[in-house]
Amino acid sequence: MHDCNMKQAAGRRRALIPLWIKLPYTLFVCVLVPVYWHYNGPANFLWFSDFALLLTTVALWRENRLLAGMMSLATLLPEIGWNIDFFSRLLFGFGPAGADGTHYMFDPSIPLPGSRVQGRSLRMD
């Protein structure tokens, strides 16, 4: 009798993540993946951040805290480093010493849809 009540309660379990979060995120991923594939090819999805993007979609729908946490921890430090490099190049025209991870974003030979920032930096010379 106790097992039957537990199974019924588990079947009626309320979703922890609301649908209004799951649907827009999934739609975003469904639009982003073909665009990235077209401009950057399938090898682009071997980057940790893209891998985390896809697995976060799975984690949202399965409501799997472990998978969501793994994706957060796997990408946190590299993404912080990338953002520091990007914004220092954007604002000051150069990145931190030894960091060259975002030079492609400011390369004029790469077309804009392929992830290039218009102009070299925001600083006033």
pLDDT at 98: 72
pLDDT at 5: 56
Q: Tell me: the pLDDT tens digits for 98-117?
A: 777 888 888 888 776 544 44
Residue 12 has pLDDT above 80, yes or no: no
Q: How many CB atoms lie within 10 A of CB 95?
A: 19
Please provide the DSSP assignment of 12-35 as one string. TPPPSS-HHHHHHHHHHHHHHHHH
Residue 68 has pLDDT above 90, yes or no: yes
Rounded to 5 degrees, φ, ψ at 101 are -85, -15
Q: Tell me: the pLDDT tens digits for 35-49?
A: 989 888 888 888 888
Higher-scoring residue by pLDDT: 119, 75? 75
Percent of the chain with pLDDT strictly greater than 90: 35
Cα end-to-end span (Å), the chain:
77
Of 103, 106, 108, 109, the C-alpha closest to 117 is 106
